[in-house]
Amino acid sequence: MQRLKLFLPLLVFIILAAVFFGVERRVQSGDYAPTDLPSALIDKPLPEFSEPSLSDGRIIDKAQIVGEMFLLNVWATWCPTCHFEHPFLLQLAAAGMNIVSVDYKDDADGAKRWLAQKGDPYSLTLFDEDGSFGLDLGVTGAPETYLVDADGIVRFRYQGALDQRVWDKEFVPRIDALSNQGAAQ
């Protein structure tokens, strides 16, 4: 028994090594990102806002976009990951997903050019020049994507680029659950 006690530090080391190795693997496979913050908005209503539309400058408020489930995508032309994400958003929009976007702390002309050149997956783009709506959303950077339900409640927030894998894993189950709930009511 006394001899076994000598191996206690080794045992502790092995357990810790296994834990760290497991976390590191999850980081590498993309299941866990230590830099991601839990959003303070989950299950809370989308904050009130009134921001100009990028295309024609008319002021849009919350009541005009809430009504059916939609995605709220935060992007900017200065954000390299947004370039990467853009084709997938076009694909989602083509499949019938309603995506509203926030052009976050950007230059209006550059943003218009971007949408003209790369295609516009958004049903509406809000132009948040000074980042005030971004602040209300708790945005820490771009891209970020919020899933907002028919009642205007934020159900999920994803930090980083959307792709097919993230979409299937994180969004599809939640969207299915929300649609089932809606159907049951």
Partner 1 sequence: MKSVWLCLALMLFSVGAAAVIETYQFDTPLQQKRYHAFIEELRCPKCQNQNLSGSDSAISKDLRRQIHQMIMDDKSDIEITQYMVARYGDFILYRPRFSGQTAVLWLAPIALLMLGLLVWWRMASGRKSKLVVNDAPLSSDEQARLQELLADDGAAAKPGEKR
- Residue 72, φ and ψ in degrees, nearest 5: -115, 110
Size of the site for partner 1 (CB under 8 A): 17
Choose between 41 and 111: whose C-beta lies nearer to partner 1.
41
Nearest to 73 by CA among 119, 24, 27, 125: 125
Residues contacting residue 143 through CB under 8 Å, at least 6 positions apart: 73, 74, 75, 79, 81, 82, 85, 160, 161, 162
User: Does position 38 bind partner 1 by CB under 8 A?
Assistant: yes
Q: Is 9 in the site for partner 1 (CB under 8 A)?
A: no
Q: Candidates 138, 153, 166, 170: give the one binding partner 1 (CB under 8 A).
A: 138
Residues 114-133 within binding reach of partner 1 (CB under 8 A)? 131
Rounded Cα–Cα distance for residues 114 and 108 (Å)? 10
Give the one residue of 137, 148, 162, 178 binding partner 1; rule: CB under 8 A. Answer: 137
Binding stretches for partner 1 (CB under 8 A): 34-35, 37-41, 105, 131, 134-141
